Structures are given as structure tokens and as C-alpha cells.
Structure 1
Amino acid sequence: QLIPDYGDVSNPDVRAKYGYLEAGVSIFGNAAMFAVKLVLGIMINSISLIVDSFHTLSDTGTSVVVLLGFKTSKKAPDSEHPFGHGRAEFVATLVIAVLLVVVGLTFVLSSMERMIHVSPVEGRILIAVLMIVFAVVKELMARFSIILGKKIDSSTLIADAWHHRTDAFTNVLVAVAIVGARYNYYMLDAIFGMAISALIIYTGVKLAKDASDRLMGKTPDENVLKNVKSAAKSVGGVKDVHGIAVHDYGVSKVISMHIEVEKGISMEDAHNIATRVEDSVKTNVKAEATVHVEPHGKESINRAEVEKNIRDIVMKCENVVSCHGVDMVFNGCSGVIEFHVVVDRHMSVDESHDMIHKLIYQVQKRYPQFKVHAHVEPKAG
């Protein structure tokens, strides 16, 4: 239990602590490996090991991206970001994914160069052994990142794990090249390099696609939709659920949905059912929900036909410029009709008041089972 409330991964502060832990371990691990590689490189006079030590030190850059991503994502909502800053994690994932693709392409170029211009790779077996040891350490760091990433469902930590893994592959390639050179298999590192490059590029592209999809509002996983529907249907009085929309903000999710209830129940009962559904979704899915209530069963009135008839009635009236915002709430064969009427901006208040009442009367006469509300507004100009 290195993190207080470590199980409450829906808490932005706790999620950030997971991110800080992973980044801290990565920075410490890379700094320690840099020091060891540098000292050993100087002791055995190995230029390649000294160069690789500075490459390891540069890997702390992705850990900085992780830190910044989680630091931003835990910020509280503000006027410009009313749903919080959770998507900063997706941006961090995208940055790391791009870095992975760049590393993969670099591997491709260096591997092709080795295939075209085969040259012996000099090195001691001691260095090869050290590279394998460093590869094991980097793989352990990768697995640690994956464990934390899966715990809080963070693509950022998974992406950083793959960055650690690419370094492990690099160290293994150096070891393979050194051993292969001793037995005149100079192409081994190039062949292995091409295969690993393809894996790294594929992983980077996949992570980038996943992060981009979540930033652009991709349809959520089927299991999420099932959980939302199950949470809603567990509330008594809910006959059916449809129109589920999930807005993923990383740390938080905002859900809107439509539920169907019995046609004859009162508005108060329907409102109470909707409130219980919102509570159920919040408890079971860890998301805020907005619930729209509809009567169960097929509407007995054609919505499109009603809207057309209302527009026809309104547009026959003198001084009317346009009609918009026609909305209907059905409850079987009855309900509420609401619409907006735009009139000439020079029309007086008295005239507009009389006109809107005549329109309400005409619509009410056409649809006596409905309550009618109309709003008048002047034409902009």
C-alpha cells in the first residue's frame, strides 16, 4: 500500500499518485542505470556502453511526459473545462506513442544500414552479459508500469511500459550483435532489429489510434454499455433503456440515456425513477448520468407529421419570419408541444402577444390532447 486509498482509482488524486509512482520509479531506474553504465563504460573503456548510458538518461523524457499528463489530468474542472482535464492522459499517451514510432523507424533505418553494409561488431562478452542484465531490469520496469496501468486503466502507463520494453529490446540486440560477431553471424542483429522494429511501430500506431479514438469520442466498449444498461434496469419501474451516450473524460465519464416507464404514471413518479437510475449508474459505473424519461411502447402519434402541421399553421400567420425549436414530449396520445416563432423586429409587444395566443389556440384546436407552449422572438438585424 504505497499509495493512500490505493483502491479508489476513480479519484483523480489517487490516479495521479499511481502516475507519479510509475514516473518516479522510471526516473530513478533510468538514472541508476545511467550511472552504472557510465562507470562500467569508463572502467572497461567501452565507447558503446558510454554512449548507451546517455541514451538511457534521455529516456527520462517520457517519464516527464507521464508526470505532466497526470499532473494536468487531476486538475479540478473550471469554466473552460467543465468536465475536468482527464483527457490530458490521452494526450500524454499520444505523445509517447509518437516517440515509440520514431524509435521504431530509427531501428528500421539502422537495421537496413547493417543489412546493406555488413560490418563486424566489436565488443566483449562482459558487455553482452551486462546488456542482458540491463534488458532484464528494463523489462521488469515495463511490467511494473503495465501492472499500474491496468490497475487504473491508464493508456499512458501502458505506453510508457512499451517505451521501457523497446530499451530492453535494444540492449538484447547489442548483446546478440556482440555474440554473433564472435561467430561471424554479422547479420543477426540486423534481422532481429527489423523484426523488433515492426513490433515497436505496430505498438506505437495502435496506442496512438486508441488515444486518438478516445479524444475524438469513440463508441465505448460493449461491456461499458452493458454495465450502464444493467445499472439502469436494476431500478424498479424501468421498462427499457436506449440511446446511451458515454462521454469519456479519462478520470470521469458523463453518460446520457433514455429510459422508458409505464405510460400512465405521474411526472413525480417518473422523476423519482430517473433520479434512482442516475444514482445507480453513479454507484455501479462510477459515472455521472443524465436521464431522459419516455413512455414505454410505440408512439401513437407521428412526430414528423405533427411538426410539419405546426409549421404550416405558424407560417400562415402574417409577420411571422420563421418557426424553429419545435419539440414534443409524448405520453401515449397526449403530452406537451413547444415551439419558437420569429417575427418582424418592428412588431409591437401587443401585436406579438395577440398573435402568439392565436397560434397557441390554433395548435391547441388541432391537437386538443396536448398542452401548447409558444415563445416569440424578434428577427435579428
Structure 2
Amino acid sequence: MNNESFKSLKKGEKAAKYSAYTNLFLALIKGIVGVLSGSVALIADSIHSFSDIFSSLAVYVGLKISQKKPDQKFPYGYYKVETLVSLIVSLMIVVTGFEIAFESFNDFLNPSIIQFPIISLLTALLSLVVSYYLAKYKKNIGHEVGSQALINDGKHSLIDVFSSLIVFIGIFASYMGYVSIQGISGMLVSILIIYIGAKLGKNDILALLDASIDPDKVELIKKIALEVEGVFGVHEIKVRRSGPYIFAELHLELKRGVSVKKTSDISMELEKNVKNEIYELDSLTVQAEPLQKNYQIIGVPLKNDLGLSSDITTHFGKANYFMIAKVKNGSIEMFIIKKNPAVIAETKKGIKAAELLKKENVDILVVDHLSEGPKYVLNEYLMGISKPNGNNLEEIIIYASKSFEN
């Protein structure tokens, strides 16, 4: 876990702690006023707020444990504790929905007369406003630090807004003489609450089972990978969420003959680019594979232009010509011979010759020796290098194509 990740979890932990304190305040206020006014709805809402305290504490504990560094027993870290806590919060939302449904049905059958209606209305209104801003705060911090548990807890607080609204409507309706309205509206809202809780819980279960629940992230990673110089294909992209973080793996298709260093450079560049776009990415596992092609393009430096009877030269940059041959199924399918534009150059002949081969999409260069400049350029172009081996030009080209087969 890097320093930024640690700071994010600490920020989420602080938000969960503030939430617990706020819910304690609301529970005490609603409980006291509910008992004094005889409002069953306020008392029930007070009990609901007490359950919210445990919900916020669960998120706090989950984020606290998630900060523990990976160890021998948990080499992938403790991030899933946060997802587990998120599932617990989702279940509590569902339970809250059934609780409100039961209380609303009971209030519909046995409506009560409320004492001190103005104080009760102000208490319900205070609870509504505080719950709204608390929900907004937790959801914003949750999205900022990538904590699904905190986001879910924010949605739980948003449900408290509906709950307080029901209490407010019920008290106001009772004050106006319509004593049954609170029960009816409460039962309707409870259905919405149960649905939201079940939906959130489903996503948490899928995350715990390492299901791929974010296809947009898969497409984004694929797009970023294909933009990296040297990547010709990408497949088997797997993305899983563990707590507030994302773990991804993929297979890259690179040209044959790519050096280990160049492969490492490409992987590091890809990981850096993905992390710039997906801040919650913890790690990206890259497996490089040779590009799957049923043919090879072979480049050979020549002294003269005599077709397959041409003579190979050992001077790469000073070669008069280059043969560009397409080899498929162990035989030369076609070839062209191109004049080397670098011959007339006064400096950097080898580098300019290498640029010609790149333009012709050459996979493998047949050459006995290269100086450092052209060698570096060809390595950057992911071009394989094969030493001449054979009795004639055709045999040399066929050998070069086979030296880089899977």
C-alpha cells in the first residue's frame, strides 16, 4: 500500500467516526423528544439512528483493518474486510426497511395522538437536514477514497432522510387530523429501502467472489494498453475489486524478439498510464506474449539487386539495398528490394536505415553485427535480430523466420 492509499483510508476512517458521533446525537435528541411527546414514530426513528451508529462503527473498523499491511497469512492484504463490512451495512439497510414497514403498518392500524407537535416537527426536520448533509458528506468521501462501504453507509444515511421525512409527514398529518397518512407513506418508502439494500448487497457479494462487475474499467484498460508504443494486441483483461482498491491483470501481444528490458519498460509504462486514469488501482499484472501472426517480414541488407541471388553485406547502414521478404509456412511468399536512402546520408546511416525497416514493418533483421546506435533504435522498434545462417539468401531468410517462431 503506497502513502496516498494510506491517506485515503485514514480520510475514510475519519468520516466514519464523525458519522457515528452524529448518529449518536440524533438518536438521543429523537429519543428524548419521542418519549416526552408520545410519538411512536420518533421513538422508532431514534432506535433506527442507534442502529446507524453500529453501521458507521462497522465501516470505521473495516477501514481501520484495511490499512494493515499484507503479511504471510494475508499476502494480498486485508482490503476485503472493507467489502465484508459493506455487505453488513447493506444487510442492515434491508433490515431497516422491514423495520420501517412493520412500524408503519402498526401505526396505520393504531394511529396515535402526539403531544408537543411543534417540537416533534422541528426534531424530525432537524434529523432530516442533518441526515441529508451527512449522507452527502459520506458519499463524497467514499467516492474520493474509493470506499464502497462508506458509499453504502452514505446511502444508508440518505434512507434516514426518507425515514425522517415520513416521521415529519406523520406528525404533521396527525396534527392536521389525518392520522393514517404516516403509516401508508412509510410502507411505500420501506419497499424502496429494501430494494436499495438488496441491490447494494448483491454487488458486495459479487465483489467478494471476485466477479468482474466493472466492464467500463476493462474497456478503459484495453484502450490505454493499445495506446502504448509497442503493444499490438491485448486480451484476457481481468479486473476485480478488493475493498476500496482494484486489481487487474492482462496479456499483451508484442513483436517477437523483444528484449526482457524492453518488455519491462512497456509493462511499467502501461501500469503508470493506467494508474493515472484509475486512481484506485492497486496493482496491474502484465503477461507479455508474442504477437500471433502466421507470417514474418524479414529484412536483409544487400550489396546488389539480383533477386534471391543478391549478396548480403555486413555493413548495415552502408548497404546499397534491403530485401523485404514475407515468409509464410516456411517459404518465401513474396519479396521486394528497396534502395537504402541512408547511403547518401553523411551521418547516422545506421539509424536512418533502421527507420526504413520500421516503415516496412520488418519483424526480423538479418545482420551479423550492429553498432550501438542502430541496435538501440531497432530494440525500440521491437525488431528481432538474427545472424545469417545458410548456404544462400533463401536459406538465410527461412532460418531467420524460424528462429523467432513460438
**TM-score, structure 1 as length reference:** 0.68
Alignment of 1:171-210 (within 5 A): 171-210=164-203
Deviation at 1:220, TM superposition (A): 4.2
- Which one of 112, 119, 123 corresponds to residue 111 of structure 2? 119
Matched letter for residue 184 of structure 2: I
Secondary structure, counterpart of 1:59 in structure 2: helix
Measure the CA separation in 1 of the matches of 2:262 and 2:48: 65
Structure 1 gap ranges (5+): 1-7, 301-331, 335-368, 372-381
Quick one: distance in 1 between partners of 2:98 and 2:49? 18
Where 2:249 maps in the other structure, the secondary structure is strand
Q: Are 2:112 and 1:109 aligned? A: no
Partners of 2:62 and 2:85 within 8 A in 1: yes
Aligned-partner Cα distance in 2 for 1:167–1:9: 35
Q: Structure 1 stretches (4+) deviating beyond 6 angstroms?
A: none
Number of residue pairs matched by the alignment: 299
Instruction: Choose which of 96, 99, 103 in structure 1 pairs with 2:92.
Output: 99
* 1:94 to partner: Cα distance: 0.4
Residues 1:225 and 2:192 aligned together: no
1:63 aligns with 2:63: no
Unaligned residue ranges in structure 2 (runs of 5+) = 296-327, 331-401
Cα distance, 1:241–1:271 mapped onto 2, change above 3 Å: same
1:62 Cα deviation after fit: 1.0
Deviations 1:337-359 (A, max 9, x none): xxxxxxxxxxxxxxxxxxxxxxx
Partners of 1:204 and 1:176 lie apart in 2 by 23
Q: Shift of residue 11 of structure 1?
A: 3.3
Paired AA for residue 297 in structure 1? Q
1:290 correspondence with 2:290: no
In structure 2, C-alpha distance between the alignment counterparts of 1:82 and 1:263, rounded to whole Å: 34
Once the two structures are TM-superposed, the CA of residue 370 in structure 1 deviates from its matched residue by 8.9
Q: Deviations over 1:195-241 (max 9, x none)?
A: 11011101100110111111111214232113322332232111111
How far does residue 90 in structure 1 lie from its aligned partner after superposition? 0.8
Residues 142 and 148, structure 2, Cα contact 8 Å, conserved in 1:
yes
Aligned pairs (5 A) from 1:282-321: 282-285=275-278, 286-298=281-293
Correspondence for 2:301: none
Distance 1:183 1:251 in 2: 48
CA contact (8 A) 2:248 2:283 kept: yes
Match of 2:19 in 1: 26
Bigger shift: residues 223-232 or 102-111: 223-232
- Looking at structure 2, the residues matched to 279 and 162 of structure 1 have their Cα atoms a distance apart, in angstroms, of 33
**Structure 2 Cα separation of the partners of residues 144 and 108 of structure 1:** 27
Match of 1:129 in 2: 122
TM-score when normalising by structure 2: 0.65
Tell me which residue corresponds to 1:258. 251
Residue identity over aligned pairs, in percent, reads: 27
Following the alignment from structure 1 to structure 2, what is the Cα–Cα distance between the partners of residues 293 and 333?
Answer: 24
Task: Name the larger-Rg structure.
Answer: 2
Aligned to 1:155: 148
The alpha-carbon deviation at position 51 of structure 1 amounts to 6.7
In structure 2, the CA distance between the partners of 1:15 and 1:295, relative to structure 1 (3 Å rule), is same
Distance in structure 2 (CA, Å) of the matches to 1:232 and 1:61: 43
Deviates more, 1:87-96 or 1:169-178: 169-178
Supply the distance in 1 between the matched residues of 2:287 and 2:45 (Cα, whole angstroms). Answer: 59
User: Contact conserved, 1:10 with 1:251, CA < 8 A, in 2?
Assistant: no
- Aligned match for 1:213, one of 202, 206, 210: 206
Deviation per CA, 1:234-271, whole angstroms, max 9, x where unpaired?
32111111111123223443322111122354565445
Cα gap change, 1:143 to 1:47, in 2 (>3 Å): same
In structure 2, relative to structure 1, the CA distance for the partners of 1:34 and 1:288 (3 Å cut) is closer
Q: Deviations over 1:111-162 (max 9, x none)?
A: 33344x2434434321123212221111111111111112123221122122
C-alpha distance in 1, partners of 2:45/2:282? Answer: 46
Structure 1: distance between partners of 2:70 and 2:16: 24
Larger CA deviation: 282-291 vs 78-87: 282-291
Higher mean alpha-carbon deviation, 264-273 vs 149-158, is at 264-273
Query: What displacement does 1:88 show?
Result: 1.2
CA contact (8 A) 2:146 2:244 kept: no
Q: In 2 relative to 1, CA 33–50 (structure 1 residues): closer, same or farther, beyond 3 Å?
A: same
